[in-house]
Chain A
């Protein structure tokens, strides 16, 4: 394991051993990987893989039981006509919608689809530790088996790394065996790739099962260079510890092209071992329909349209 004991000095010392990241170089590597041309059989494979990796998400103040049930139905059966379309990776909702989501999934053939809950005063993370703990406990009690927590960015940026670390450790303890923990870095607020790399390692060292780019409420979110840097971090963490941590980009991934670029990044950075829903998820909502339309085009040879996918 890494030589971190939770104290400020041990965390800072460890993070200082990490290699710096050159912005221009990282962006140009991500851009080059974006020119990979994925066609025919590999495109079909990529579309179905991407669908199976989606955390189908609704996180609106205006969410209602009706809205949540609608996306759960879609999660189980994305295409009402074509049963060969795989189901999604998970459904992601706010804490107080977890029970509704779980029940509806269970009653509609979605027993194998986990419910992920956002937690710890998502999206801002600005609340006391007690509130964050209660938030997490509630979600798990209602049936969430995945917790997407946010880190305290204020603490990170003001140099209080021990606080960031301790909070993750604490939430992980609550999750225990009942839920896996995704830690949202909110890369748009961290701004530099050096910060993204450091926050990734800090989260992994504190017990994250997944590191996640964003809440989806801040732009920029899951840009390809940010995901590249996080994939490099999980790759390096595996070299150091033998443990594979998952990556979840969320926010801004709207088209099939975007999704395929993400899969190429995974393939050529962390490696093919990460190309499954246990280690890679995509937080998205509109993306699913674009994947479905592209899938239809590949099978039928025609460009599809809005009326041939469900708008939930």
Chain B
């Protein structure tokens, strides 16, 4: 019996031109830090250093905020919405033009497969700018009053799991609604944000409207605590989100948060089984499980559990783990050593607490940070792997007997970001959706995102929504 082996199909890196060092992007130019050091960003698939970027100091943050304030007062707030829209249309078009370059760079800096950056991350990022460009000149129709006003200067901190896409989710609505921005990308994935600064220049965006200050948690803290910011938008861990929530008390800063999750993917006995298996795989192994809204708990109706697990195992043995730049790779590298350690530690707790681990046989590369697609059965609600966000390709399988029990278990968490429902019955989809305490509910699908669709969580998964008409509210002060 001949096996159909797929020969290597590497995407060329010739299209990217990575500099050895990067400065900060403030007031429309790349400028060096005053006193800040540099730190390395690496490719987690092979641990090679890609570039050195700047650790923004408090003084650098101050410069950026001043540039953003100046741009807001002198230029941006005076432009009609239609003009703001035109800049955003330009940015969207340039992202489309340079799509392949961004896709390759993102894959190298983050570790995710090129197929995903090419087919998902980059197109969605461009679409986000395109969609919000069209809001800039029609804010009076957004349901926020006849004359909603921008906050002014917005401080934005984004995570490493979808670097360019998270940047788009933040900057597009902020600019469309008339705010100016100081954005800090995650320290392990700064490169596409820095390339985005070039796009701003190509689009001739007025100086200071967008400022990119790289750095780690200290830089983020300086940004959050800067008195010159009127609003903060943060996507990251629930832990840090709570810190920020406390730190804005006593100020007038508006705050939205996009935090963690422990999404339940609920499979009823009448689910379309093959598409359900795809949905489960997509729900937890897409993007190596580094997804806040991942379907990290599989809640399966007990009477179909065995059949589903068999199919899941068969499907998982076809997941191709390896070089993210190979076009056939399904599962790429874990973003950092720190994250890998976290995943390993939590998976270990699954073993010690008595759950049963399974992974298909995989050839993991020698260098880089890797974890095979994994699930645990025999998981109970009290296990750490049922309660804590792992943020990796690890699925916890829990059973239920009745729909009510499924809802009870699904809701039994401090998080409330996402949930999935798999069934052939329409009324049950709607009933489940009505009962679930989650901001995004996917029925017979999973991990679908669209600029027109609001995204955000209940409970400790955060405050506010991003995307759609509802997402504009975060960036505007509406008339009461």
Whether A and B touch directly in their complex, counting CB atoms under 8 A apart, is answered as: yes
Q: Does B9 contact A (CB under 8 A)?
A: yes
Rounded to whole angstroms, the CA-CA distance of A272 and B6 in the bound complex is 13
10 additional A-B pairs beyond A25-B278, A25-B444, A268-B318, beta carbons within 8 Å, are A21-B272, A22-B272, A25-B275, A29-B275, A37-B6, A40-B7, A41-B7, A42-B4, A42-B7, A267-B4
The reply on A169 being an interface residue by CB < 8 A is no
Q: A25-B444, A42-B7 are in contact. Are A35 and B119 (CB under 8 A)?
A: yes
Q: Which residues of A contact B278 (CB under 8 A)?
A: 25, 28-29
Q: Select one of A26, A35, A40, A45 contacting B274, CB under 8 A.
A: A26
- B208 at the A/B interface (Cβ < 8 Å)? no
Q: Which residues of A contact B40 (CB under 8 A)?
A: none
By a CB distance below 8 angstroms, the chain A residues around B7 are 38-43
Is B270 in contact with chain A by the CB < 8 A criterion? yes
Complex contacts, A38 vs chain B, CB 8 Å: 6-7, 9
Q: Mark A254-290, 1 if CB is under 8 A from B, else 0.
A: 0000000001100110001101100000000000000
Q: Is the Cβ of A45 less than 8 Å from the Cβ of B4?
A: yes
CA distance A125 to B333 in the complex (A): 54
Is the beta-carbon distance between A232 and B274 smaller than 8 angstroms? yes
Is B2 close to A, CB under 8 A? Answer: yes
**How far, in whole Å, are A124 and B270 apart by their CA atoms in the complex?**
35
Number of A residues with CB within 8 Å of any CB on chain B: 30
Cβ contacts A45-88/B at 8 Å (1 or 0 each): 11001000000000000000000000000000000000000000
Chain A interface (Cβ within 8 Å of chain B)? 19-22, 24-26, 28-29, 35-43, 45-46, 49, 232, 263-264, 267-268, 272-273, 275-276
B8 CB contacts on chain A under 8 angstroms = 39-40
Looking across the interface, which residue of chain A has its beta carbon closest to that of B304? A19
Query: Known contacts A21-B275, A24-B445, A25-B445; is A46 also within 8 Å of B4 by CB?
Result: yes
**CA of A267 to CA of B3, assembled, Å:** 8
Output the residue of B8, B270, B275, B276 with the most chain A CB within 10 A: B275
Q: Are B9 and A39 in touch, CB under 8 angstroms?
A: yes
- Chain B, residues 90-108, CB within 8 Å of chain A (1/0): the string is 0000000000000000000
> Please, which residues of chain B bring their CB within 8 A of the CB of A45?
2, 4-5
> Are A35 and B275 within 8 A (Cβ)?
no
A35→B115 contact, CB < 8 A: yes
Q: How many A-B residue pairs have CB under 8 A?
A: 75
List of A residues within 8 angstroms of B4 by Cβ:
42, 45-46, 49, 263-264, 267, 272, 275
Quick one: CB contact mask for B243-276 with A, threshold 8 Å, 1 for yes? 0000000000000000000000000001111111
**Which residues in A have their C-beta under 8 angstroms from that of B271?**
19
Q: How far is the CA of A156 from the CA of B2 in the complex (A)?
A: 37
Alpha-carbon separation in the docked complex, A276 to B1 (Å): 8
Q: Which residues of B contact A29 (CB under 8 A)?
A: 274-275, 278
DSSP class of A's interface residues: helix, strand, loop or mixed? helix
CA distance A272 to B424 in the complex (A): 31
Q: CA of A263 to CA of B6 in the docked complex: distance in angstroms?
A: 11
Find out whether the CB atom of B444 lies under 8 angstroms from the CB atom of A22.
yes
Q: Which of B175-193 contact A (CB under 8 A)?
A: none
Among A22, A26, A40, the one with the most B-chain Cβ atoms within 10 Å of its Cβ is: A22
Among candidates A36, A40, A41, residue contacting B328 with C-beta atoms closer than 8 Å: A36
Contacts of A20 in B (CB 8 A): 270, 272, 424
Q: List 13 A-B contacts (CB under 8 A).
A: A19-B272, A19-B274, A25-B445, A26-B274, A29-B278, A35-B115, A35-B119, A35-B327, A38-B6, A42-B5, A272-B1, A272-B2, A272-B4
- B272-316: which residues lie under 8 A (CB-CB) from chain A? 272-276, 278-279
Complex Cα–Cα for A291 and B275 (A) = 32
Q: Encode contact with A along B140-175: 1 for CB under 8 Å, 0 otherwise.
A: 000000000000000000000000000000000000
Contacts of B444 in A (CB 8 A): 22, 24-25
- Contact A22 to B275, CB < 8 A, known contacts A35-B119, A263-B4, A268-B318: yes
Inter-chain CA distance A46–B4, complex, in Å, is: 8
- Give the distance in Å from the alpha carbon of A6 to the alpha carbon of B424 in the complex: 28
Interface string of B1-19 (1 = CB under 8 A from A): 1111111110000000000
Bound CA span A275–B276, Å:
26
A24 cross-chain contacts in B, Cβ below 8 A:
444-445
Closest to B114 in A: A37
Measured between C-beta atoms, what is the minimum distance from B192 to chain A in Å? Answer: 22
For residues 114 through 154 of chain B, which have their beta carbon under 8 Å from a beta carbon of chain A? Answer: 115, 119
Among residues of A, the one whose C-beta sits closest to the C-beta of B270 is: A20
Q: Which residues of A contact B274 (CB under 8 A)?
A: 19, 21, 25-26, 29, 232
Within 8 Å CB of A275, what residues of B? 1-2, 4
| Interfacial chain B residues near A232, Cβ < 8 Å | 274
Whole-angstrom distance between the alpha carbons of A264 and B9 in the complex?
15
Q: Within residues 320 to 348 of chain B, which ones have a CB less than 8 A from any CB in chain A?
A: 327-328
Question: Do residues B3 and A272 form an inter-chain contact, with CB atoms below 8 A?
Answer: yes
* CA gap between A276 and B4 in the complex, in Å: 11
Residue with the greatest number of chain A CB neighbours at <10 A, chosen from B3, B4, B9, B318? B4
The complex places the Cα of A22 from the Cα of B282 at a distance, in Å, of: 15
A272 to B1, CA, bound (A): 7
In the complex, the chain A residue whose C-beta lies closest to that of B275 is A25
Which of these, A28, A37, A46, A268, contacts B9 with CB under 8 Å? A37
Point out the residues of chain B lying under 8 angstroms from A41, CB to CB.
Answer: 5, 7
B295 to chain A, nearest CB (A): 14
Task: Name which residue of chain A comes closest to B3, CB basis.
Answer: A272
In Å, the complex CA distance between A181 and B318 comes to: 31
B68 CB to nearest chain A CB (Å) = 40
